[in-house]
Amino acid sequence: MGKKVKKQKSDEATKRWVSGMRDAFSEALYEIICEDERVILITSDTGAVCHDLIKANFPGRYINVGIAEQNMVGVAAGLAMTGYIVYIYAIVPFVTMRCYEQIRVDLCCMGHLPVTAVGVGAGFDYNTLGPTHHGTEDLSLMRTLPGMTVLSPSDSVMAAAFARISYELPGPKYIRLDRTGLPLIYDKDEADFSAGLTHLREGKDVCIVATGRMVKRALSVAEELAGKSVSVSVVDLYRLKPLNRELLLEILGKSARIATIEEHFITGGIGSLVAELMAENCVYLPLKRFGIPDDFCREYGPRDYLHSLYKLDLQSVARAVSDWVKG
Residues 171 and 205 in one domain: no
pLDDT in tens, 67-82: 999 999 999 999 999 9
Q: Give which of 88, 7, 74, 105 is closest to 45, Cα–Cα.
A: 88
Q: Could you tell me if residue 188 is inside a domain? A: no
Sort 268 into a burial class: Cβ within 10 Å, 0-12 / 13-18 / 19+. middle
Q: Please check whether residues 209 and 169 belong to one and the same domain.
A: no
> What is the spatial distance between Cα 327 and Cα 314, in angstroms, rounded to a whole number?
19
Residues 203 and 310 in one domain: yes
167 and 209 in a single domain? The answer is no
Where a domain ends, among 128, 147, 177?
177
Do 120 and 153 have their domain in common?
A: yes
Compute the distance between CA of residue 308 and CA of residue 317 in angstroms, rounded to an integer.
10
The string over 270-295, giving b where at least 16 C-beta atoms fall within 10 Å of a residue's C-beta and e elsewhere, is bbbbbeebbeeeeeeeebbbbbbeee
How many Cβ atoms are within 10 Å of 195's Cβ, its own excluded? 12
> CA 271 → CA 12, 67, 267, distances in Å?
43, 33, 8
Closest Cα partner for 29 from 95, 86, 112, 96? 86
Spatial separation of the C-alpha atoms in residues 130 and 124, rounded to whole Å: 9
- 261 in a domain, yes or no? yes
Count: domains in the chain:
2
173 lies in the same domain as 205: no
Burial class of residue 159 in the structure, from the number of CB atoms within 10 Å of its CB (0-12 exposed, 13-18 middle, 19+ buried): buried
Are 226 and 296 part of one and the same domain? yes
pLDDT at 20 (0 to 100) = 86
The amino acid that residue 97 corresponds to is: M
Residue ending a domain, among 147, 177, 207, is 177
Among the candidates 177, 211, 230, a domain finishes at 177
Tens-digit pLDDT profile for the chain (327 aa)? 444 444 444 333 333 334 689 999 999 999 999 999 999 999 998 767 778 889 999 999 999 999 999 999 999 999 999 999 999 999 999 999 999 999 999 999 988 899 999 999 999 999 999 999 999 999 999 999 999 999 999 999 999 999 999 999 999 999 999 988 788 999 887 778 999 999 999 999 999 999 999 999 999 999 999 999 999 999 999 999 999 999 999 999 999 999 999 999 999 999 999 999 999 999 999 999 999 999 999 999 999 999 999 999 999 999 999 999 998
- Do residues 213 and 131 both lie within one domain? no
Task: Please report, for residues 145, 195, 238, 325, the alpha-carbon distance to residue 232 in angstroms, rounded to integers and kept in the order given.
Answer: 33, 21, 19, 10
Q: What is the pTM of this model?
A: 0.92
**Residue 84 per-residue DSSP state:** -
Same domain, 164 and 230: no
Which residues fall within 8 angstroms of residue 213, CB to CB, at 6 or more apart?
Answer: 122, 123, 154, 178, 182, 263
Indicate which CATH number applies to the domain containing 139.
3.40.50.970
**Residues 169 and 219 reside in one and the same domain:** no
3-state helix, strand, coil in the chain (%, to 5): 40, 20, 40
Beta-sheet pairing, 149-151 with 239-241? antiparallel
187 in a structural domain: no
Within-domain flag for 184: no
Beta-bridge partner residues of 121? none
Q: In whole angstroms, what separates CA 51 from the centre of its chain? A: 19
Domain that holds residue 216: 197-326
Determine the length of the chain: 327
Does 255 share its domain with 309?
yes
The CATH number linked to 247 is 3.40.50.920
> Do 46 and 104 reside in the same domain of the chain?
yes
Residue 64 lies in a domain: yes
Rounded to a whole number of angstroms, the CA Rg of the chain reads 20
pLDDT, the chain, mean: 91
Would you say residue 154 lies in a domain? yes
Inside any domain, residue 192: no
The answer to whether residue 241 is domain-embedded is yes
Among residues 169, 162, 194, which one has the least CA distance to residue 25? Answer: 162
